[in-house]
């Protein structure tokens, strides 16, 4: 499974990119505005830090303007993935851009039917929002399972990018279901490292070593 960071915080992206665990980044205008950065400059900077796909979202909602924005965004860097909403206009733009070899991430997916349309439109990624479905009392992971079944049945190349990830359990369940990507805020990626028995085991090991009276160094 690939790990994407869902953030526009440059310092956090640099920090986790250095770990070698981050394969891409997803952004949106709200995340960039929250950090007070210039939209285009921020996209360019992130694309220079992360060699993998960096999703940059169109602001327009009509097909004609959205396509112009998408082509402009795709021209900012080779690893830009144009992000469009799962609407009629968004799917039209997805088809037009993907036919020209531009990666497209179709976002705001909440049903298997929508995911099927995105795959037929040539999307590189489909972004089902599992956390928002859970908030409504629906099962976000059931949606991931349904999309996986459909995509495998017809050998679609579209990658399932699990979005609206709220915790480490979402990541693990998505991996078990065969999702291709999970995009998550930095705090969720940090949760994946943590387990109390790991902390306890390390503390016990260090206490045992300290009892020998030797320095904590082997070089």
Domain extent at residue 66: 2-194
* Residue 218: inside a domain: no
Cβ-contact 97, 82 below 8 angstroms? yes
Residue whose pair of structure tokens reads 């924005």 in the numeric block = 69
Determine, yes or no, domain membership for 200: no
Domain annotation covers residue 219 = no
On whether residue 212 sits in a domain, the answer given is no
- Active-site annotation, residues: 83
Q: What is the 3-state secondary structure (H, E, C) of the chain?
A: CEEEEECCCHHHHHHHHCCCCCCEEECCHHHHHHCCCCHHHHHHHHHHHCCCCEEEECCCCCHHHHHHHHHHHHCCCCCEEEEEECCHHHHHHHHHHHHCCCCEEEEEECCHHHHHHHHHCCCCEEEEEHHHHHHCCCCHHHHHHHHHHHHHHHCCCCEEEEECCCCHHHHHHHHHCCCCEEEECHHHHHHHHCCHHHHHHHHHHHHHHHCCCCCCCCC
Pull the structure tokens for residue 186: 């930095």
Average pLDDT, integer, range 141-145 = 98
pLDDT above 90 covers what percent of the chain? Answer: 91
State yes or no: pLDDT of 34 exceeds 90.
no
71 falls within a domain: yes
Q: Is the pLDDT of residue 219 over 80?
A: no
Within a domain: residue 25?
A: yes
Strands 80-85 and 24-26, sheet pairing? unpaired
Residue 41 pLDDT > 90, yes or no? yes
Name residues whose C-beta falls within 8 Å of residue 180's C-beta, 6 or more positions apart in sequence: 1, 2, 125, 159, 160, 161
pLDDT above 80: residue 85: yes
Is 184 contained in some domain? Answer: yes
CATH number, domain at 119?
3.20.20.70
The confidence score (pLDDT) of residue 55 equals: 98
pLDDT at position 214 is 82
Q: CA-to-CA distance for 208 and 219, rounded, in angstroms? A: 19
Q: Model confidence over 158-210: pLDDT tens digits?
A: 999 999 999 999 999 999 999 999 999 999 999 999 999 999 999 999 999 88
Task: pLDDT band for 218, please (50, 70, 90 cuts).
Answer: confident
CA dist 106 and 140 (Å) reads 17
Asked, for residue 78, whether it belongs to a domain, the answer is yes
The per-residue pLDDT for 36 is: 84
Give the pLDDT of residue 6: 97
Nearest to 53 by CA among 120, 123, 121: 123
Contact yes or no for 31/37 (Cβ under 8 A): no
* Contact criterion met (CB below 8 Å) for 22 and 190: no
Mean pLDDT of 62-87: 98
Return the pLDDT at 217: 80
- pTM for this predicted structure: 0.94
**pLDDT tens-digit profile of 6-27?**
999 999 999 999 999 999 999 9
Task: Using the predicted structure, report yes or no on whether residue 112 has a pLDDT greater than 80.
Answer: yes
CA-based end-to-end distance of the chain: 36
Q: How many domains does the chain have?
A: 1
Query: Is residue 140 over pLDDT 80?
Result: yes
- What Cα–Cα distance (Å) separates residue 93 from each residue in 52, 75, 147? 22, 16, 22
């Amino acid at each position: 499974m690939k790990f994407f960071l869902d953030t526009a915080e440059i310092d956090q992206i640099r920090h986790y990119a250095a770990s070698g665990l981050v394969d891409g980044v997803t952004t949106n205008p709200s995340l960039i505005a929250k950090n007070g950065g210039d939209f285009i400059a921020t996209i360019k900077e992130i694309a220079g830090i992360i060699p993998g796909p960096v999703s940059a979202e169109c602001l327009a909602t009509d097909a004609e303007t959205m396509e112009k924005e998408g082509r402009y965004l795709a021209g900012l860097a080779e690893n830009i993935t144009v992000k469009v909403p799962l609407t009629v206009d968004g799917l039209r733009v997805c088809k037009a851009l993907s036919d020209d070899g531009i990666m497209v991430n179709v976002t705001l997916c909440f049903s298997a039917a929508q995911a099927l349309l995105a795959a037929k439109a040539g999307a590189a990624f489909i972004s089902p929002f599992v956390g928002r479905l859970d908030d409504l009392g629906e099962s976000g992971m059931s949606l991931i399972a349904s999309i996986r079944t459909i995509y495998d049945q017809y050998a679609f190349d579209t990658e399932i990018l699990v979005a609206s990830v709220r915790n480490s359990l979402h990541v693990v369940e998505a991996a078990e279901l065969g999702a291709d990507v999970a995009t998550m805020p930095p705090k969720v990626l940090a949760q994946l490292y943590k387990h109390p028995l790991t902390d306890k085991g390390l503390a016990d090991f260090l206490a045992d070593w300290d009892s020998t009276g030797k320095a904590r160094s082997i070089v």
